[in-house]
Structure formats: structure tokens, C-alpha cells
Structure 1
Amino acid sequence: MNILLLGAGGQGGPCASIMSRDKDIQKVVMADSNLDFARKVAAKINSPKVEVIQLDCSDIDAVVKACEGMDCIIDLTPVWLGPTVIEAALKANISYVSTSFDVPYLDQIALGQERYLDKELKEAGVKVLLGCGLAPGFVNIVVRKYCDKLDTVKSVKYRLGKQKLYLGEFGEVTDPWNPGWSPKQALIDFSNPCYVFRNGKFEEVPPFTEIEDFPFPAGNQLVSHHTHEEVVSTPTIIGKGIEYCDFKYYVARQAATFVSMGLASQEEVEFGGGRFKPIDFIVSYVPKPGTAFLDEDPDYLEEHDGDVAIPSVLIIEGTKDGIPVEYKVHCPKLIGHPKALNEIFGTSYISIALPAVIGAKMLVEGGNGLHPGINLPEELDPDRFFEHFFGTGIPYKWEEL
């Protein structure tokens, strides 16, 4: 299997490192606009499987050319480039997987509209899998596994937190904001209206609304509505009479301040005789995630493995044989495992990259619940996905609370 990997940044290095150690993958072509950076990433991986090329991923024809001899694209470019890269995959007639998605698909799925290029992809027999990272992706597939146990599904609630345990109860107030991935996209997500599936219908609500003090295993944390893919994909695919679905994310206090003061705005403003976008000013002060893979330190990881909790709690309500059932599932962080870095993958940053690699393998091997056209993570066969996942030897398990 040959993979074209678009993007060498925060997830590109981990993704290439995972694939360099996968016996089913023979070749990885890692493409990035910054060739020097891509070469540094490849040098750290130090595998003959990994090649690098310079590529402008907004150039459809250039992406199509890079697809020659490839079996699948793993797209780690900024989310707004997704539709462009999907068009290239269609022209090149190869499979495609991303770790997130946004407009137009987010709105089209919620509104029940035809999905962009879905008809053309089906006619060409090309399979596209949207949002196969951690969230969306891994958590959706866990939810699907539990929904399969039920005859009817009443509601699905996603709760994601991030707790720096070493800071104490109020340390986050003065700790500099760093989402750990694209800060610009993170701020956009914090400021956008959010979908909620309520009473069997999608509705929009403002961000940072319906705040609740949620009891994560490591301690309570405030969560609120947040724009995310799970809210539209889960009700659409799960069915079974589902009435309610939401996604609540931890209330990042600094991000909330930026949004409430208009500092996450993408509209140009005038100041000091010049013009700039407030979001660009804020983002210029936030650490970039691209070098995390290059700077990974095994000794530091061993010492600080338990410092940060990144819990996902999934609450699924429904019925089985006419009896009400509630599952509450805690998925601890899928990042920072010393064994992943030192023995299995050459990196501990696997939370988004590993599900994407598994999604690509399932696309290429065929079946697995996937079909030509646009697929969502809940459509993956969960048993096959977790067969791939746990087959890597990763020491991970979720907990039924």
C-alpha cells in the first residue's frame, strides 16, 4: 500500500512515523509546501519508506500528479482545503481520508442536502472518509460500537476535557493558551455557532452556551457547546430513533475571552494607521504545533506522562429489549504513552494520526462498511477498526463508568 500524506506539520510527522513501521504500507510520500521542514521530519523518522516532495496542496493538478502510484491520500492540510483535495482525489481516482471536516459538508449533512462531489465520487467508485482522527473519528467509532448494542437510541452526548493536573484547580486562569494544534482553526471553532440535534432536528446555538460543570474522572471541569462534526454525523448515521445529540468541549478561559472581546474576528480592523485581522494578531502569539514531533523527548515523557488528562466521556442512552439502558464510557487520552514512542510507533502523538492511518487501510482493503462517495466515521465497521487499533500493541483501554 502506497500513501500520499499531505502535510508534515503537527500530525504529519507522527502519521509518517506510524506508517514507516506498518508492514502493510510500502511507501509514504510526505508532501508539504515547506520542503526543508518536511526533510527534517523525514530525517528524524529515518526510514527508506518515507519520501518527501514540495507541493502546493491548493493546486489541484499538482496534487493529482503527486497521486500517481498512490493508493490513498491522508489529508492533514488546513480543514478549508479539504474540498479542493477531495476534487483532486476524484480526478486521480484514489481513496481519501481526512481527520476533520467543515463547510460545506458540516452544513450539508445537517440540512440533509446533497454532499459536495458525492454523486461524482459514487459514479467514479472513489471512497472518501471524512473526519477519521480522534474527535471526530475514534470517539465516533466507540459510540457506534455501543449504539450497536441497543435496539433504540435516545441520545448521544460527547464531553471532551483538557485538564493540566499539575496546575491545580485554578492554574489554567494564568496558564498561556495553547490548543496543541492549529491555533487559528481552534479559535474559529470556538467562535462559530454550534449545531445541536434536539427533538430530532438540528438547531444552531451560540458558542459557550448551556455551560455545565461536568464530572470527568480526574475532576470536574466546565464544558459548553462547541462546533464539532460529531453532532451532525452521529444522528445522521446512527438513526434508531435518536432524539438528541450534542458536543460539549472544555471552556478554555483565554479563548472565551478572545471570542467575547471580538479578538477572534476574521474581519479586518484599522489600528495605528494599518489594517489587520484580530485573529491573526492573537494567533501570532500562540505556539505553533508543527515542531512537537521533532522536539519529542522520551525522558520528559516518562517523567510527565500523568501531568495532563485529556478525557472523552461518551454518554449513550437507549433501550434494549424494552429496558432503558445508559452507557457512560471514559476514553482517556490517546497521547503521551512512552511505549508508543519508544517501542511501537516512534512517537507518542498518535491520537489523531493513528485513526487516520487505520482509516486509510480500511478504505484500501475494501468492505468495512464503506462505500463509494462521502463516508462518515460512524459508517466504519467498529470491530474491524479496533482489530487494527489493538493489533498495533498499543496499551490502551477505555472504561465503562
Structure 2
Amino acid sequence: MKVLIVGAGGQGGPCASILSRDDTVEEIRLADLDLSVAQKVADKIGSPKIKIAAVDATKSSEVAKLADGVDVVMDFVMPWMATYVMKGALTAKAHYVNSAFDTPFWEEIAEGKTREELTLCKDFEAAGLTALLGCGMAPGFINVLIREQTDNMDRVDSIKIRLGKAKTGGGEYDDIIVPWNPGWAPIQALKDCADNAICFDQGKYGYVEPYAGIEEWPFEEPVGKKLVSHHSHEEPYSLPLTIGKGLKYCDFKYYVCYHPAALVSLGLASNEEIDVKGTKIKPIDVCAAVLPKAGNAFLTEEPAKFDYTDKHVFMSMQAEVQGEKNGKPVTSLINCPQMTTPCQPIYDLFGTTLVNVALPAVCGAKQIAEGAERGVIFAEQLDPQRYLEILKATGYPYEWQVTLK
């Protein structure tokens, strides 16, 4: 298989590392707007399979030229650039995968368009190609696990997705007084917190305000009970569109992190200009000036910190699926703990621990290359059994739990 990776940053680097160790992959074209970033990633991986190039992802012709002859284009640039990269893949007659999506698909789905009516769906279908949207961890891996459970139900009533994080070994009030760093682009993370979130309720799409629907959710220990609230995310868009079976409710809630919550409530995440002593400024620009800059965790990964991470950094992602089977109510609780630990075995296998987004995307790419529904599809439309077979075949030492009620 030949692959073009667009974007050599925090997800593109791990993706290239994973693919470089895959015997079924013969060529990896790693492209980024900043050629020096692609070079640093290639140097760290040290595989002869990798060839680097510069690309402007908003120029479909550049993407198409680099994609000539590849089987799959994997997109790890900003979600709003998706259609540009998709058009490049389509021109090159290659399949397409991304780990996140937003415009124009969010608006089209909320407006009630069918999957076949989505941008570029008919074009990919006519070309015999698949554009797989949202195939990272969330959206992506969790969608596949949800589909596995809904396949075993006669009716699906609700799908609730929750994500919580915790860090131990520090001070009791570290969550409040230690400077905020979400681990990726802080300003994009802040914007996500400030945006209205989609919620599918009573069979209809609707938007709710930031931090609406606050509730306490009992994650598994050591994450434990956390306040969660509605959060702008992809799953409540695609799952109601694809799952069917009478689904009436679907949401995504993220744990309430104090720092961005305070900034949003104070209006400091706003793009609207305000007057400060005669000077017009955007509050979010002030935040951008003081928050840490986006980094490349793949290039700065430190094995010396693996033991600390294993013992003190935790994440829990859960999905509660309620429905009916054989005339009786049934609930499936999917529990996914941290996907990047234990660090050392994962690092030895893939050359990186940062596999939570990249590895699910790689599995999706391999699956659509061997055969899947054509057109624009979402992760939950993949055959879940085959997807999990591909994942397990990588040797990834990960386990999740499903509890039936």
C-alpha cells in the first residue's frame, strides 16, 4: 500500500511512524506546509519508505500531484481544510481518511441532508472511492465500538459519549492553580469549549450553549466522578445520520476543565472586538499571547517520562448505548481507558506512544483500501468486526470493556 500523509504534526508524525513499521506499506509520502517539520519527523523515524514534500493543503492541485499513484490520502491538517484535501485525493483517484471533520459537513447534517447529499459523496461514489471521515479515537474508534453494540440491538434509543481526564501525583489543587496546557493547540481547544455544541434530542438536531447540561459522570477510577458538559464534537452529527434503528438522543460531553471554563464565562474566548483604553482588541488574541504555543509532541516525546505517565496520567472515554433487544430494554456501557499506555511496549511496537488518533486512522485506511462502502462514510459505517481484527493484528496491547445491563 502507498500512502500520502498531509500534515506532519502531532498526528501525522505518529501515523508515519506506525506505517513505517507495517510490512504491507511500501511507500509513505509525508507532506507539510513547513518542509522542515516533515524532515524532522522523517529523520526521527529513519525509514527509507518515507519521502518528504512541501504542500499547501488548501490547494487541491498540490495535493493531487503528490497523491498521484497512492492508494490512500491521510489528512491530519485542520478540519476546515478537509474538502480541499478530499478534492486532491479524488483527482488522484485515491481513497481519503481524516481523523476529524467540521465544515461543511456539520452544517449539512444539521440541516437534514442525507449522507448521499453531503459534499463530494456522489463524486467519490462515482469514482469507486471512499472518503472516510472522523476515524481517530473520538470520533473514530469509539464510533466503531458503538456500532458493534447497536448491531446487537433491535432498537436504539440513546447514545451518550463521555470523556474525562485526571492527573495524580501532584498537589490537591493542581487542576486550579497549575497553568493550562491541553496538550495540543490551546487556542483551538479554547474555541471548541466556547462554541455551541450539537445535541440530537427527540429525533432532531439542535444547538446548546457552551457548558450546558452539566452533570456528574462516574468514570472508572482513577479518573472517578467528574463534572461533564455538552462539548462541540463530531459524534452527535454522524451517529444519528447513520445508526438509524429509531435513535432519538445522542450527545457528547467533555469533563469541565476549570481554566477554559473560566475564560469562556468571562468572555475571553470571544472573537468580537472590545475597546480597551481606546484600542480595539479581540479577547481571544490576549489568550493567544499568553497561552503556550502549539507544539509537536511526536518530536519531543521523552521515554524517560514513560513511567510517570503510566502511573499518573489517566483518561477515560465511555459510551452508554440504550435500546431494546427481543422486547426487553438493554444498556451497553463501553469503557475505554487511556489508549497511550503502557508507554514502553507501545513505543517499542510503533516508535511512538501517541497512537490514540493515528492508529485508528491507519486501521480505517487499511480497511477502506481492501473494500468498504463507497462515497463519504463515517467510522461507524465500517464493518466493526473487520476493523477490530485489523487493530488487533497490529499487536496493539489495548483492552476495553463492555458491560451489559
Report the TM range for the smaller structure's normalisation: over 0.9
Q: Give the conservation status (yes or no) of the 8 Å contact 2:160–2:252.
A: yes
Which deviates further from its counterpart, 279-288 or 217-226? 279-288
Q: 1:310 aligns with which of 288, 307, 315?
A: 315
The answer on 1:198 being equivalent to 2:179 is no
Match of 1:390 in 2: 392
Match of 2:259 in 1: 254
Which deviates further from its counterpart, 185-194 or 8-17? 185-194
1:184-212 CA distances to partner (integer Å, 9 max, x unpaired)? 22222111111111111111111101101
Match of 2:45 in 1: 45
Q: 1:350 aligns with which of 355, 374, 380?
A: 355
SS at match of 1:326: strand
Match of 2:210 in 1: 207
Change (3 A) 1:284 1:130: farther
Match of 1:222 in 2: 227
Change (3 A) 1:248 1:70: same
Match of 1:281 in 2: 286
SS at match of 2:169: helix
Match of 1:91 in 2: 91
Give the letter aligned to residue 226 of structure 1: H
Q: Give the conservation status (yes or no) of the 8 Å contact 1:298–1:341.
A: no
1:375-399 CA distances to partner (integer Å, 9 max, x unpaired)? 0111011111110111111111112
Match of 1:153 in 2: 156
Change (3 A) 1:35 1:377: same
Q: Give the conservation status (yes or no) of the 8 Å contact 1:340–1:347.
A: no
The answer on 1:239 being equivalent to 2:244 is yes
Which deviates further from its counterpart, 59-68 or 294-303? 294-303
- Structure 2: runs of 5 or more not aligned: none
SS at match of 1:162: strand
Q: Give the conservation status (yes or no) of the 8 Å contact 1:154–1:244.
A: yes
Shift of 1:50: 1.1
Match of 1:188 in 2: 191
1:320-367 CA distances to partner (integer Å, 9 max, x unpaired)? 111111111210011133244442101000000001111111121113
Which deviates further from its counterpart, 83-92 or 97-106? 83-92
Matches for 1:31-70 after TM superposition, within 5 Å? 31-70=31-70
1:52-89 CA distances to partner (integer Å, 9 max, x unpaired)? 11111112211111111211111000111111111222
Match of 2:295 in 1: 290
Match of 1:110 in 2: 110
Give the letter aligned to residue 304 of structure 2: D
Matches for 1:70-89 after TM superposition, within 5 Å? 70-89=70-89
What TM-score results when the alignment is normalised by the length of structure 2?
0.94
CA RMSD of aligned residues (A): 1.7
Shift of 1:91: 2.0
Shift of 1:168: 5.5
- How many residue pairs get aligned? The number is 398
SS at match of 2:399: coil
Change (3 A) 1:72 1:272: farther
In the alignment, the residues of structure 2 paired with residue 100 and residue 264 of structure 1 have an alpha-carbon distance, to the nearest angstrom, of: 22
SS at match of 2:376: strand
Give the letter aligned to residue 331 of structure 1: C
Match of 1:374 in 2: 376
Change (3 A) 1:292 1:16: same
Q: 1:301 aligns with which of 287, 298, 306?
A: 306
What TM-score results when the alignment is normalised by the length of structure 1?
0.95
In the alignment, the residues of structure 1 paired with residue 289 and residue 219 of structure 2 have an alpha-carbon distance, to the nearest angstrom, of: 32
In the alignment, the residues of structure 2 paired with residue 275 and residue 157 of structure 1 have an alpha-carbon distance, to the nearest angstrom, of: 41
Give the letter aligned to residue 58 of structure 2: S
Which deviates further from its counterpart, 217-226 or 331-340? 331-340
Q: Give the conservation status (yes or no) of the 8 Å contact 1:6–1:12.
A: yes
In the alignment, the residues of structure 1 paired with residue 235 and residue 289 of structure 2 have an alpha-carbon distance, to the nearest angstrom, of: 29
Percent of aligned positions that are identical: 44
- Structure 1: runs of 5 or more not aligned: none
Give the letter aligned to residue 40 of structure 1: K
